[in-house]
Amino acid sequence: MILSKSDISKLEQVSLQESLKLIDDLFPRQVVFSSSLGQEDQVITDAIFKNNIPVTVFTIDTGRLFNETYELLDKTIARYKQPVKVYFPDATDVEAFVLQKGINSFYESVDNRKECCHIRKVKPLNRALAGAKVWVTGLRSEQSANRNQMPMIEWDEGRQLYKFNPLINWTYAEVLEYLTINNVPYNSLHDKGFISIGCAPCTRAIGHGEDARAGRWWWESSQKECGLHVAVSK
pLDDT tens digits, 70-97: 999 999 999 999 999 999 999 999 999 9
pLDDT at res. 147:
63
pLDDT at res. 1:
84
pLDDT at res. 212:
82
pLDDT tens digits, 169-178: 999 999 999 9
Query: Sorting pLDDT into bands at 50, 70 and 90, what band is 142?
Result: confident
- Measured CA to CA, the distance from residue 6 to residue 161 in angstroms comes to 18
What rounded mean pLDDT belongs to the chain? 93
CB 69 within 8 A of CB 172: no
Write down the catalytic residue from 116, 117, 202, 226.
226
Residue 159 has pLDDT above 90, yes or no: yes
| Residue 202 annotated to the active site | no
Phi (first) and psi of residue 220, to 5 degrees:
-100, 155
Domains for the chain: give ranges and CATH numbers. Answer: 5-202 (3.40.50.620)
Phi (first) and psi of residue 94, to 5 degrees:
-65, -45
Phi (first) and psi of residue 58, to 5 degrees:
-140, 160
